Structure 1
Protein backbone atom coordinates (compact mmCIF):
# COMPACT_ATOMS: atom_id res chain seq x y z
CA UNK A 1 0.00 0.00 0.00
CA UNK A 2 2.84 2.39 0.87
CA UNK A 3 4.50 1.64 -2.46
CA UNK A 4 1.26 2.34 -4.30
CA UNK A 5 0.82 5.67 -2.52
CA UNK A 6 4.42 6.65 -3.30
CA UNK A 7 3.96 5.70 -6.94
CA UNK A 8 0.73 7.71 -7.16
CA UNK A 9 2.43 10.74 -5.61
CA UNK A 10 5.33 10.44 -8.05
CA UNK A 11 2.90 10.31 -11.00
CA UNK A 12 1.11 13.41 -9.72
CA UNK A 13 4.46 15.17 -9.37
CA UNK A 14 5.43 14.21 -12.91
CA UNK A 15 2.08 15.47 -14.19
CA UNK A 16 2.59 18.83 -12.49
CA UNK A 17 6.15 19.08 -13.85
CA UNK A 18 4.95 18.35 -17.37
CA UNK A 19 2.14 20.90 -17.09
CA UNK A 20 4.48 23.60 -15.81
CA UNK A 21 7.01 22.82 -18.54
CA UNK A 22 4.37 22.85 -21.26
CA UNK A 23 2.94 26.10 -19.91
CA UNK A 24 6.36 27.79 -19.97
CA UNK A 25 7.04 26.63 -23.51
CA UNK A 26 3.61 27.74 -24.74
CA UNK A 27 4.07 31.22 -23.25
CA UNK A 28 7.61 31.64 -24.58
CA UNK A 29 6.61 30.11 -27.93
CA UNK A 30 3.72 32.56 -28.21
CA UNK A 31 6.05 35.44 -27.37
CA UNK A 32 8.57 34.21 -29.94
CA UNK A 33 6.03 33.66 -32.73
CA UNK A 34 3.58 36.52 -32.19
CA UNK A 35 5.91 39.05 -30.55
CA UNK A 36 7.98 40.02 -33.61
CA UNK A 37 4.79 40.54 -35.62
CA UNK A 38 2.96 42.79 -33.11
CA UNK A 39 5.85 44.70 -31.51
CA UNK A 40 6.28 47.87 -33.59
CA UNK A 41 9.98 48.39 -32.80
CA UNK A 42 12.70 47.19 -35.14
CA UNK A 43 15.20 45.13 -33.10
CA UNK A 44 18.08 46.73 -35.03
CA UNK A 45 16.79 50.35 -34.93
CA UNK A 46 19.13 52.57 -32.89
CA UNK A 47 18.15 55.59 -30.82
CA UNK A 48 21.18 56.93 -28.97
CA UNK A 49 18.96 59.37 -27.12
CA UNK A 50 17.37 56.36 -25.37
CA UNK A 51 20.65 54.59 -24.57
CA UNK A 52 20.21 52.33 -21.52
CA UNK A 53 16.65 53.55 -21.04
CA UNK A 54 15.05 52.10 -17.95
CA UNK A 55 12.06 49.77 -17.96
CA UNK A 56 8.81 51.62 -18.65
CA UNK A 57 8.13 54.80 -20.58
CA UNK A 58 8.63 54.61 -24.34
CA UNK A 59 10.41 51.25 -23.97
CA UNK A 60 8.43 48.68 -22.02
CA UNK A 61 11.50 46.60 -21.10
CA UNK A 62 14.04 49.37 -21.56
CA UNK A 63 16.70 49.83 -24.26
CA UNK A 64 20.28 48.67 -24.65
CA UNK A 65 23.41 50.83 -25.02
CA UNK A 66 22.54 51.57 -28.65
CA UNK A 67 18.98 52.56 -27.75
CA UNK A 68 17.51 49.39 -29.30
CA UNK A 69 14.25 48.10 -27.82
CA UNK A 70 14.97 45.18 -25.51
CA UNK A 71 11.39 43.92 -25.86
CA UNK A 72 11.78 43.67 -29.65
CA UNK A 73 15.23 42.09 -29.36
CA UNK A 74 14.05 39.56 -26.77
CA UNK A 75 11.11 38.56 -28.97
CA UNK A 76 13.34 38.05 -32.01
CA UNK A 77 15.98 36.33 -29.85
CA UNK A 78 13.41 33.91 -28.43
CA UNK A 79 12.18 33.09 -31.93
CA UNK A 80 15.75 32.55 -33.13
CA UNK A 81 16.70 30.30 -30.19
CA UNK A 82 13.45 28.32 -30.17
CA UNK A 83 13.30 27.93 -33.94
CA UNK A 84 16.95 26.98 -34.33
CA UNK A 85 16.70 24.47 -31.46
CA UNK A 86 13.59 22.89 -32.99
CA UNK A 87 15.13 22.58 -36.45
CA UNK A 88 18.35 21.21 -34.98
CA UNK A 89 16.39 18.61 -33.04
CA UNK A 90 14.51 17.53 -36.17
CA UNK A 91 17.72 17.35 -38.22
CA UNK A 92 19.25 15.14 -35.52
CA UNK A 93 16.21 13.04 -34.63
CA UNK A 94 15.03 12.03 -38.11
CA UNK A 95 18.31 10.51 -39.37
CA UNK A 96 19.15 9.20 -35.89
CA UNK A 97 15.87 7.30 -35.54
CA UNK A 98 15.85 6.07 -39.15
CA UNK A 99 19.45 4.84 -38.99
CA UNK A 100 18.85 3.26 -35.57
CA UNK A 101 15.86 1.32 -36.89
CA UNK A 102 17.84 0.31 -39.97
CA UNK A 103 20.81 -0.92 -37.90
CA UNK A 104 18.59 -2.94 -35.55
CA UNK A 105 16.48 -4.40 -38.37
CA UNK A 106 19.24 -5.26 -40.83
CA UNK A 107 22.20 -5.92 -38.53
CA UNK A 108 25.36 -7.25 -40.16
CA UNK A 109 27.73 -4.91 -41.97
CA UNK A 110 25.16 -2.09 -41.98
CA UNK A 111 25.06 -2.04 -38.19
CA UNK A 112 28.86 -2.26 -37.95
CA UNK A 113 29.33 0.61 -40.39
CA UNK A 114 26.85 2.84 -38.57
CA UNK A 115 28.43 2.01 -35.21
CA UNK A 116 31.83 3.02 -36.61
CA UNK A 117 30.45 6.38 -37.79
CA UNK A 118 28.74 6.97 -34.43
CA UNK A 119 31.95 6.14 -32.56
CA UNK A 120 33.96 8.55 -34.71
CA UNK A 121 31.46 11.35 -34.01
CA UNK A 122 31.52 10.61 -30.27
CA UNK A 123 35.32 10.72 -30.29
CA UNK A 124 35.11 14.45 -31.01
CA UNK A 125 33.82 16.70 -28.22
CA UNK A 126 30.48 18.15 -29.32
CA UNK A 127 31.46 21.81 -29.23
CA UNK A 128 34.77 21.00 -30.94
CA UNK A 129 32.89 19.63 -33.97
CA UNK A 130 30.74 22.76 -34.08
CA UNK A 131 33.82 24.98 -33.82
CA UNK A 132 35.53 23.11 -36.66
CA UNK A 133 32.59 23.80 -38.96
CA UNK A 134 32.25 27.41 -37.77
CA UNK A 135 35.87 28.00 -38.72
CA UNK A 136 34.82 27.86 -42.40
CA UNK A 137 32.02 30.43 -42.03
CA UNK A 138 32.10 32.14 -38.61
CA UNK A 139 28.89 33.78 -37.47
CA UNK A 140 26.66 31.99 -40.01
CA UNK A 141 23.60 29.88 -39.27
CA UNK A 142 24.52 26.97 -41.57
CA UNK A 143 27.69 25.64 -39.91
CA UNK A 144 26.22 26.15 -36.44
CA UNK A 145 23.04 24.25 -37.35
CA UNK A 146 24.95 21.48 -39.12
CA UNK A 147 27.50 21.06 -36.33
CA UNK A 148 24.86 20.76 -33.61
CA UNK A 149 22.82 18.29 -35.68
CA UNK A 150 25.86 16.10 -36.35
CA UNK A 151 26.63 16.10 -32.64
CA UNK A 152 23.12 15.25 -31.43
CA UNK A 153 22.02 12.55 -33.90
CA UNK A 154 24.18 9.87 -32.25
CA UNK A 155 22.05 9.81 -29.08
CA UNK A 156 18.88 9.26 -31.13
CA UNK A 157 20.61 6.55 -33.14
CA UNK A 158 21.94 4.60 -30.16
CA UNK A 159 18.77 4.76 -28.07
CA UNK A 160 16.64 3.74 -31.07
CA UNK A 161 18.93 0.85 -32.01
CA UNK A 162 19.26 -0.51 -28.46
CA UNK A 163 15.51 -0.29 -27.75
CA UNK A 164 14.53 -1.76 -31.11
CA UNK A 165 16.92 -4.69 -30.61
CA UNK A 166 15.29 -5.37 -27.24
CA UNK A 167 11.79 -5.27 -28.74
CA UNK A 168 12.69 -7.47 -31.71
CA UNK A 169 14.17 -10.11 -29.40
CA UNK A 170 10.86 -10.63 -27.59
CA UNK A 171 8.84 -13.82 -28.27
CA UNK A 172 5.70 -12.08 -29.49
CA UNK A 173 7.68 -10.44 -32.33
CA UNK A 174 8.85 -13.85 -33.51
CA UNK A 175 5.28 -15.11 -33.26
CA UNK A 176 4.06 -12.16 -35.34
CA UNK A 177 6.63 -12.96 -38.03
CA UNK A 178 5.63 -16.63 -38.09
CA UNK A 179 2.01 -15.59 -38.50
CA UNK A 180 2.97 -13.64 -41.61
CA UNK A 181 2.84 -10.05 -40.31
CA UNK A 182 5.12 -7.83 -42.36
CA UNK A 183 7.91 -5.52 -41.26
CA UNK A 184 5.73 -2.44 -41.54
CA UNK A 185 3.07 -3.89 -39.25
CA UNK A 186 5.64 -4.93 -36.63
CA UNK A 187 7.32 -1.53 -36.80
CA UNK A 188 4.10 0.46 -36.42
CA UNK A 189 2.37 -1.69 -33.81
CA UNK A 190 5.24 -3.00 -31.70
CA UNK A 191 8.41 -0.94 -32.13
CA UNK A 192 7.25 2.68 -32.49
CA UNK A 193 4.96 2.66 -29.41
CA UNK A 194 7.96 1.61 -27.30
CA UNK A 195 10.58 4.00 -28.68
CA UNK A 196 8.15 6.94 -29.05
CA UNK A 197 8.29 8.19 -25.42
CA UNK A 198 12.06 7.80 -25.36
CA UNK A 199 12.45 9.82 -28.56
CA UNK A 200 10.17 12.52 -27.13
CA UNK A 201 12.38 12.76 -24.03
CA UNK A 202 15.56 12.89 -26.13
CA UNK A 203 13.99 15.58 -28.33
CA UNK A 204 13.36 17.83 -25.33
CA UNK A 205 16.92 17.34 -24.09
CA UNK A 206 18.31 17.93 -27.59
CA UNK A 207 16.47 21.25 -27.89
CA UNK A 208 17.72 22.34 -24.46
CA UNK A 209 21.27 21.39 -25.44
CA UNK A 210 20.99 23.32 -28.70
CA UNK A 211 19.71 26.45 -26.95
CA UNK A 212 22.57 26.38 -24.44
CA UNK A 213 25.16 25.67 -27.15
CA UNK A 214 23.99 28.50 -29.43
CA UNK A 215 23.94 30.97 -26.53
CA UNK A 216 27.35 29.86 -25.27
CA UNK A 217 29.01 30.07 -28.68
CA UNK A 218 27.51 33.49 -29.34
CA UNK A 219 28.62 34.66 -25.88
CA UNK A 220 32.26 33.78 -26.67
CA UNK A 221 31.99 35.52 -30.08
CA UNK A 222 32.30 32.43 -32.28
CA UNK A 223 28.59 31.87 -32.90
CA UNK A 224 26.03 34.31 -34.23
CA UNK A 225 27.39 37.85 -34.28
CA UNK A 226 25.84 41.21 -33.37
CA UNK A 227 23.63 42.92 -34.38
CA UNK A 228 21.75 39.59 -34.67
CA UNK A 229 19.37 39.56 -31.68
CA UNK A 230 20.66 36.33 -30.13
CA UNK A 231 20.16 35.88 -26.39
CA UNK A 232 23.73 34.86 -25.56
CA UNK A 233 25.31 37.74 -27.48
CA UNK A 234 22.82 40.16 -25.89
CA UNK A 235 24.12 39.20 -22.44
CA UNK A 236 27.73 39.85 -23.47
CA UNK A 237 26.88 43.16 -25.15
CA UNK A 238 25.13 44.44 -22.02
CA UNK A 239 27.56 43.01 -19.48
CA UNK A 240 29.79 46.14 -19.35
CA UNK A 241 26.71 48.11 -18.23
CA UNK A 242 25.68 45.71 -15.47
CA UNK A 243 26.28 48.25 -12.69
CA UNK A 244 23.97 50.78 -14.38
CA UNK A 245 21.20 48.50 -15.64
CA UNK A 246 21.52 45.03 -14.03
CA UNK A 247 17.98 44.05 -15.01
CA UNK A 248 18.79 44.55 -18.70
CA UNK A 249 21.56 41.94 -18.47
CA UNK A 250 19.34 39.52 -16.56
CA UNK A 251 16.43 39.64 -19.05
CA UNK A 252 18.02 37.53 -21.85
CA UNK A 253 19.61 35.26 -19.23
CA UNK A 254 16.20 34.70 -17.63
CA UNK A 255 14.66 33.90 -21.02
CA UNK A 256 17.34 31.26 -21.70
CA UNK A 257 16.77 29.82 -18.22
CA UNK A 258 12.99 29.60 -18.69
CA UNK A 259 13.35 27.98 -22.12
CA UNK A 260 15.71 25.29 -20.84
CA UNK A 261 13.66 24.80 -17.66
CA UNK A 262 10.47 24.27 -19.66
CA UNK A 263 12.14 21.67 -21.86
CA UNK A 264 13.69 19.87 -18.87
CA UNK A 265 10.35 19.72 -17.02
CA UNK A 266 8.64 18.42 -20.14
CA UNK A 267 11.33 15.76 -20.51
CA UNK A 268 10.90 14.79 -16.87
CA UNK A 269 7.22 14.21 -17.54
CA UNK A 270 8.05 12.08 -20.58
CA UNK A 271 10.31 9.87 -18.48
CA UNK A 272 7.36 9.06 -16.29
Structure 2
Protein backbone atom coordinates (compact mmCIF):
# COMPACT_ATOMS: atom_id res chain seq x y z
CA UNK A 1 0.00 0.00 0.00
CA UNK A 2 2.85 2.38 0.82
CA UNK A 3 4.53 1.69 -2.55
CA UNK A 4 1.27 2.29 -4.40
CA UNK A 5 0.66 5.48 -2.46
CA UNK A 6 4.18 6.73 -3.25
CA UNK A 7 3.76 5.92 -6.96
CA UNK A 8 0.48 7.75 -7.09
CA UNK A 9 1.87 10.80 -5.32
CA UNK A 10 4.91 10.85 -7.58
CA UNK A 11 2.74 10.53 -10.70
CA UNK A 12 0.39 13.28 -9.59
CA UNK A 13 3.31 15.55 -8.71
CA UNK A 14 4.84 15.05 -12.16
CA UNK A 15 1.50 15.65 -13.86
CA UNK A 16 0.82 18.80 -11.86
CA UNK A 17 4.28 20.12 -12.69
CA UNK A 18 3.85 19.46 -16.42
CA UNK A 19 0.32 20.92 -16.37
CA UNK A 20 1.51 24.04 -14.53
CA UNK A 21 4.34 24.47 -17.05
CA UNK A 22 1.89 24.11 -19.95
CA UNK A 23 -0.71 26.40 -18.40
CA UNK A 24 1.46 29.20 -17.01
CA UNK A 25 4.74 28.71 -18.88
CA UNK A 26 3.91 30.74 -22.01
CA UNK A 27 2.82 33.76 -19.95
CA UNK A 28 5.74 33.52 -17.52
CA UNK A 29 8.36 33.16 -20.25
CA UNK A 30 6.80 36.05 -22.18
CA UNK A 31 8.72 35.41 -25.40
CA UNK A 32 7.20 34.89 -28.82
CA UNK A 33 8.03 31.27 -29.75
CA UNK A 34 8.22 32.24 -33.44
CA UNK A 35 10.64 35.17 -32.94
CA UNK A 36 13.85 34.45 -34.84
CA UNK A 37 17.34 35.81 -34.26
CA UNK A 38 19.38 34.07 -36.95
CA UNK A 39 22.65 35.51 -35.69
CA UNK A 40 22.24 33.48 -32.45
CA UNK A 41 22.19 30.09 -34.16
CA UNK A 42 22.20 27.15 -31.65
CA UNK A 43 23.15 29.38 -28.73
CA UNK A 44 23.93 27.46 -25.55
CA UNK A 45 21.76 27.77 -22.41
CA UNK A 46 22.13 30.95 -20.38
CA UNK A 47 20.32 32.84 -17.63
CA UNK A 48 18.25 34.72 -20.23
CA UNK A 49 17.46 31.53 -22.15
CA UNK A 50 17.75 28.50 -19.81
CA UNK A 51 17.30 26.00 -22.65
CA UNK A 52 19.24 27.95 -25.24
CA UNK A 53 18.17 28.99 -28.73
CA UNK A 54 17.35 26.65 -31.60
CA UNK A 55 18.65 26.56 -35.19
CA UNK A 56 16.65 29.67 -36.06
CA UNK A 57 17.53 31.58 -32.92
CA UNK A 58 14.16 30.98 -31.27
CA UNK A 59 13.80 30.58 -27.51
CA UNK A 60 13.66 26.87 -26.77
CA UNK A 61 11.97 27.44 -23.41
CA UNK A 62 9.21 29.51 -25.02
CA UNK A 63 8.66 26.92 -27.76
CA UNK A 64 8.62 24.09 -25.23
CA UNK A 65 6.04 25.87 -23.07
CA UNK A 66 3.77 26.57 -26.03
CA UNK A 67 4.29 23.03 -27.34
CA UNK A 68 3.31 21.53 -23.99
CA UNK A 69 0.23 23.73 -23.87
CA UNK A 70 -0.84 22.74 -27.38
CA UNK A 71 -0.22 19.01 -26.94
CA UNK A 72 -1.88 18.68 -23.53
CA UNK A 73 -4.88 20.87 -24.36
CA UNK A 74 -5.56 18.94 -27.56
CA UNK A 75 -5.15 15.60 -25.77
CA UNK A 76 -7.55 16.58 -22.98
CA UNK A 77 -10.07 17.97 -25.46
CA UNK A 78 -9.89 14.83 -27.61
CA UNK A 79 -10.32 12.51 -24.63
CA UNK A 80 -13.29 14.47 -23.27
CA UNK A 81 -14.88 14.50 -26.72
CA UNK A 82 -14.48 10.73 -26.85
CA UNK A 83 -15.39 9.91 -23.24
CA UNK A 84 -18.68 11.81 -23.03
CA UNK A 85 -20.46 10.31 -26.08
CA UNK A 86 -18.77 6.92 -25.60
CA UNK A 87 -19.97 6.66 -22.01
CA UNK A 88 -23.46 7.92 -22.87
CA UNK A 89 -23.86 5.46 -25.75
CA UNK A 90 -22.53 2.61 -23.61
CA UNK A 91 -25.10 3.34 -20.91
CA UNK A 92 -27.84 3.61 -23.51
CA UNK A 93 -26.90 0.30 -25.11
CA UNK A 94 -26.78 -1.52 -21.76
CA UNK A 95 -30.02 0.08 -20.55
CA UNK A 96 -32.12 -0.47 -23.66
CA UNK A 97 -30.56 -3.65 -25.04
CA UNK A 98 -32.18 -5.30 -28.04
CA UNK A 99 -31.69 -3.88 -31.52
CA UNK A 100 -30.19 -0.63 -30.24
CA UNK A 101 -27.46 -2.54 -28.42
CA UNK A 102 -26.71 -4.58 -31.54
CA UNK A 103 -26.56 -1.53 -33.81
CA UNK A 104 -24.27 0.42 -31.48
CA UNK A 105 -22.11 -2.65 -30.94
CA UNK A 106 -21.76 -3.17 -34.69
CA UNK A 107 -20.81 0.50 -35.14
CA UNK A 108 -18.16 0.20 -32.43
CA UNK A 109 -16.77 -2.97 -34.02
CA UNK A 110 -16.59 -1.23 -37.41
CA UNK A 111 -14.61 1.67 -35.95
CA UNK A 112 -12.41 -0.73 -33.99
CA UNK A 113 -11.55 -2.64 -37.17
CA UNK A 114 -9.81 0.48 -38.50
CA UNK A 115 -6.54 1.26 -36.67
CA UNK A 116 -6.79 4.58 -34.85
CA UNK A 117 -3.57 5.99 -36.31
CA UNK A 118 -4.73 5.11 -39.81
CA UNK A 119 -8.00 6.94 -39.18
CA UNK A 120 -6.09 10.04 -38.10
CA UNK A 121 -3.87 9.79 -41.19
CA UNK A 122 -6.90 9.54 -43.48
CA UNK A 123 -8.45 12.66 -41.98
CA UNK A 124 -5.13 14.51 -41.98
CA UNK A 125 -4.86 13.91 -45.73
CA UNK A 126 -7.87 16.21 -46.28
CA UNK A 127 -6.32 19.13 -44.37
CA UNK A 128 -2.55 18.69 -43.93
CA UNK A 129 -1.06 20.62 -41.04
CA UNK A 130 -4.44 21.58 -39.57
CA UNK A 131 -5.61 21.08 -36.00
CA UNK A 132 -9.10 19.68 -36.58
CA UNK A 133 -8.16 16.40 -38.39
CA UNK A 134 -5.93 15.39 -35.47
CA UNK A 135 -8.59 16.27 -32.90
CA UNK A 136 -11.40 14.57 -34.80
CA UNK A 137 -9.37 11.48 -35.67
CA UNK A 138 -8.14 10.90 -32.13
CA UNK A 139 -11.64 11.43 -30.72
CA UNK A 140 -13.21 8.98 -33.18
CA UNK A 141 -10.55 6.39 -32.42
CA UNK A 142 -10.93 6.68 -28.63
CA UNK A 143 -14.70 6.72 -28.07
CA UNK A 144 -15.01 2.96 -28.71
CA UNK A 145 -12.99 2.16 -25.57
CA UNK A 146 -15.38 4.11 -23.34
CA UNK A 147 -18.40 2.62 -25.09
CA UNK A 148 -17.27 -1.00 -24.68
CA UNK A 149 -16.14 -0.63 -21.06
CA UNK A 150 -19.30 1.22 -20.05
CA UNK A 151 -21.64 -1.15 -21.87
CA UNK A 152 -20.12 -4.33 -20.42
CA UNK A 153 -19.87 -2.98 -16.86
CA UNK A 154 -23.30 -1.34 -16.90
CA UNK A 155 -24.98 -4.49 -18.24
CA UNK A 156 -23.70 -6.47 -15.23
CA UNK A 157 -24.64 -3.74 -12.76
CA UNK A 158 -28.14 -3.29 -14.17
CA UNK A 159 -28.82 -7.00 -13.62
CA UNK A 160 -27.62 -6.89 -10.00
CA UNK A 161 -29.99 -7.37 -7.04
CA UNK A 162 -29.30 -3.83 -5.78
CA UNK A 163 -30.57 -2.25 -9.00
CA UNK A 164 -33.57 -4.59 -9.11
CA UNK A 165 -34.44 -3.60 -5.55
CA UNK A 166 -34.18 0.10 -6.43
CA UNK A 167 -36.52 -0.41 -9.38
CA UNK A 168 -39.05 -2.30 -7.25
CA UNK A 169 -38.98 0.53 -4.72
CA UNK A 170 -39.86 3.00 -7.47
CA UNK A 171 -36.55 4.84 -7.86
CA UNK A 172 -36.02 6.42 -11.25
CA UNK A 173 -33.21 6.18 -13.78
CA UNK A 174 -31.33 9.19 -12.43
CA UNK A 175 -31.15 7.65 -8.95
CA UNK A 176 -29.95 4.29 -10.30
CA UNK A 177 -27.22 5.95 -12.35
CA UNK A 178 -26.11 8.16 -9.46
CA UNK A 179 -26.34 5.54 -6.72
CA UNK A 180 -25.32 2.31 -8.44
CA UNK A 181 -23.67 2.91 -11.80
CA UNK A 182 -21.55 6.03 -11.28
CA UNK A 183 -19.55 4.78 -8.24
CA UNK A 184 -18.55 1.62 -10.13
CA UNK A 185 -17.92 3.21 -13.53
CA UNK A 186 -16.09 6.42 -12.63
CA UNK A 187 -12.81 4.78 -11.41
CA UNK A 188 -12.61 2.70 -14.59
CA UNK A 189 -13.37 5.69 -16.81
CA UNK A 190 -10.82 7.82 -14.97
CA UNK A 191 -8.13 5.20 -15.62
CA UNK A 192 -9.14 5.04 -19.30
CA UNK A 193 -8.94 8.82 -19.54
CA UNK A 194 -5.44 8.90 -18.07
CA UNK A 195 -4.19 6.37 -20.59
CA UNK A 196 -6.21 8.08 -23.34
CA UNK A 197 -4.50 11.41 -22.68
CA UNK A 198 -1.12 9.69 -22.83
CA UNK A 199 -2.02 7.96 -26.08
CA UNK A 200 -3.27 11.22 -27.61
CA UNK A 201 -0.08 13.07 -26.66
CA UNK A 202 2.04 10.28 -28.16
CA UNK A 203 -0.07 10.12 -31.32
CA UNK A 204 0.18 13.86 -31.88
CA UNK A 205 3.95 13.83 -31.30
CA UNK A 206 4.40 10.81 -33.60
CA UNK A 207 2.40 12.43 -36.41
CA UNK A 208 4.37 15.65 -36.04
CA UNK A 209 7.62 13.68 -36.04
CA UNK A 210 6.85 11.92 -39.34
CA UNK A 211 5.65 15.16 -40.90
CA UNK A 212 1.94 14.44 -41.37
CA UNK A 213 0.63 16.24 -38.28
CA UNK A 214 1.06 19.90 -37.47
CA UNK A 215 3.71 21.63 -39.53
CA UNK A 216 6.56 24.06 -38.76
CA UNK A 217 6.80 26.68 -37.41
CA UNK A 218 4.09 25.42 -35.01
CA UNK A 219 5.52 24.83 -31.54
CA UNK A 220 4.55 21.18 -31.02
CA UNK A 221 6.62 18.41 -29.43
CA UNK A 222 6.85 16.12 -32.45
CA UNK A 223 7.50 19.00 -34.84
CA UNK A 224 10.25 20.30 -32.55
CA UNK A 225 11.92 16.87 -32.46
CA UNK A 226 12.06 16.49 -36.23
CA UNK A 227 13.23 20.09 -36.69
CA UNK A 228 16.07 19.71 -34.20
CA UNK A 229 17.11 16.14 -35.01
CA UNK A 230 19.75 17.19 -37.61
CA UNK A 231 21.52 19.20 -34.89
CA UNK A 232 21.62 16.50 -32.20
CA UNK A 233 25.43 16.25 -32.26
CA UNK A 234 25.95 20.03 -32.09
CA UNK A 235 23.21 20.86 -29.59
CA UNK A 236 21.94 17.68 -27.88
CA UNK A 237 20.17 19.69 -25.17
CA UNK A 238 17.73 21.05 -27.76
CA UNK A 239 16.60 17.60 -28.90
CA UNK A 240 16.54 16.36 -25.30
CA UNK A 241 14.11 19.09 -24.14
CA UNK A 242 10.93 17.94 -25.99
CA UNK A 243 11.87 14.28 -25.49
CA UNK A 244 12.24 14.84 -21.73
CA UNK A 245 8.92 16.68 -21.50
CA UNK A 246 7.14 13.91 -23.40
CA UNK A 247 8.80 11.29 -21.18
CA UNK A 248 7.78 13.09 -17.97
CA UNK A 249 4.20 13.45 -19.20
CA UNK A 250 3.92 9.75 -20.01
CA UNK A 251 5.67 8.74 -16.78
CA UNK A 252 3.26 10.80 -14.68
CA UNK A 253 0.24 9.36 -16.48
CA UNK A 254 1.50 5.79 -16.19
CA UNK A 255 2.33 6.07 -12.48
CA UNK A 256 -1.01 7.67 -11.64
CA UNK A 257 -2.90 5.20 -13.83
CA UNK A 258 -1.13 2.13 -12.45
CA UNK A 259 -1.62 3.25 -8.88
CA UNK A 260 -5.29 3.87 -9.55
CA UNK A 261 -5.76 0.36 -11.01
CA UNK A 262 -3.90 -1.35 -8.17
CA UNK A 263 -5.87 0.54 -5.55
Match of 2:224 among 231, 234, 238: 234
What is the Cα-based RMSD across aligned positions, in Å?
A: 0.8
- Which residue, 61, 76, 80 being the options, matches 2:51? 61
Distance in 2 of aligned mates of 1:219 and 1:253: 11
Listed as ranges, the matches of 1:1-12 within 5 Å are 11-12=1-2
Structure 2 residue 23 is the aligned partner of structure 1 residue 37: no
Question: Aligned equivalents of 2:109 and 2:162: distance in 1?
Answer: 32
1:5 is aligned to: none
1:119-150 superposed Cα distances (whole Å, 9 cap, x missing partner) = 11011011000011111001111011000000
TM-score normalised per structure 2: 0.98
The one of 235, 239, 253 aligned to 1:249? 239
Aligned residues: 262
Post-superposition offset of 1:58: 3.4
How far apart, CA to CA, are the structure 2 residues paired with 1:93 and 1:40? 34
- The CA deviation at 1:40 is 2.4
Tell me if 1:155 matches 2:139. Answer: no
How far does the alpha carbon of each residue in 1:184-208 deviate from its partner, in whole angstroms, 9 at most, with x for none?
1111000000000000000000000
Paired residues for 1:76-225 under 5 Å: 76-225=66-215
Moved more, 90-99 or 11-20: 11-20
4+ residue runs over 3 A deviation: none
- SS class of match (1:64): coil
The answer for the alignment partner of 1:7 in structure 2 is none
- CA deviation after TM superposition for structure 1 residue 219, in Å: 0.3
